[in-house]
Amino acid sequence: IRRCPPRRKLAPLRRRPPMRSTRDLAARQKRTFKKFSYRGVELSALLDLNTEELIKLLPSRPRRKFERGLPRKPMSLIKKLRKAKREVQVGEKPVAIKTHLRNMIVVPEMVGSVVGVHNGKTFNSVEVKPEMIGHYLGEFAISYKPVMHGRPGIGATHSSRFIPLK
């Protein structure tokens, strides 16, 4: 009979607590947030751009839409958003402006506003953030109810045709 040598018990590993220097603590307390930039241009500079300069920064589809000219409805939405921003106190959110314009492209002037985007049934409140610039408003208000896959219902399979008569 062949026997294995007895196993040696290893001493448990002891972990030392990490050394925390004053520099690490100071860095942790003073957090720096990443400045937002759209295609290399910071938000404050985006707000100062005129329409032609902004159009050059946008991707092809929104650029084409702006170059063909904006109808009256999107301009009236921007005017309402300006008014709502003007009337609000500093540090508070403006009143939500309801709209059916799902095809409206988010421009830098709309950042910070609250828009009620119609999804076909109700108005979904969307707070416009800098990351939304260049996207359509409709992208942020889902127009369908996502499918919840659960158990199959009546008529889903051939076996479900059989209903016992007790």
Token pair for 38 = 């759209």
pTM: 0.69
Q: How far apart are CA 141 and CA 125, in angstroms?
A: 8
* pLDDT of res. 108: 92
pLDDT of residue 140: 94
CA 50, chain centre distance (Å): 26
Per-residue pLDDT of the chain (166 residues; tens, 9 = 90+): 667 777 777 667 677 666 666 666 666 666 677 888 888 889 889 999 998 999 999 999 999 999 998 889 989 999 999 999 999 888 899 999 999 999 999 999 999 999 999 999 999 999 999 999 999 999 999 999 988 887 766 666 766 666 666 6
Q: How far is C-alpha 148 from the geometric centre of its chain's CA atoms? A: 22
**Which residue is listed with tokens 């759209």?**
38
- The per-residue pLDDT for 138 is 94
